[in-house]
Amino acid sequence: MRKASDMSVRVAVVGAGAWGKNLIRNFYQLDSLIFICDKDRLLLQER
């Protein structure tokens, strides 16, 4: 079994709106963000 310190968490954000932009920024800075999904393509381009 691997130690918790050896494991990394990868995150996908569904919804890039009001709270999504903050989550996206923070997970990106932690190098954990792998995917962003939103039905509004223009909003995705801004993020």
Per-residue pLDDT of the chain (47 residues; tens, 9 = 90+): 667 666 788 999 999 988 999 999 999 999 999 999 999 988 888 77
Helices (H), the chain: 18-29, 41-46
Q: How many CB atoms lie within 10 A of CB 10?
A: 10
- Domain of residue 40 covers 4-46
Q: Whole-structure pTM over 0.85, yes or no?
A: no
User: Looking at the 3D structure of the chain, how many domains does it have?
Assistant: 1
Residue 13 burial (C-beta neighbours within 10 Å; 0-12, 13-18, 19+): buried
Rounded distance between C-alpha atoms, residue 15 and residue 28, angstroms: 15
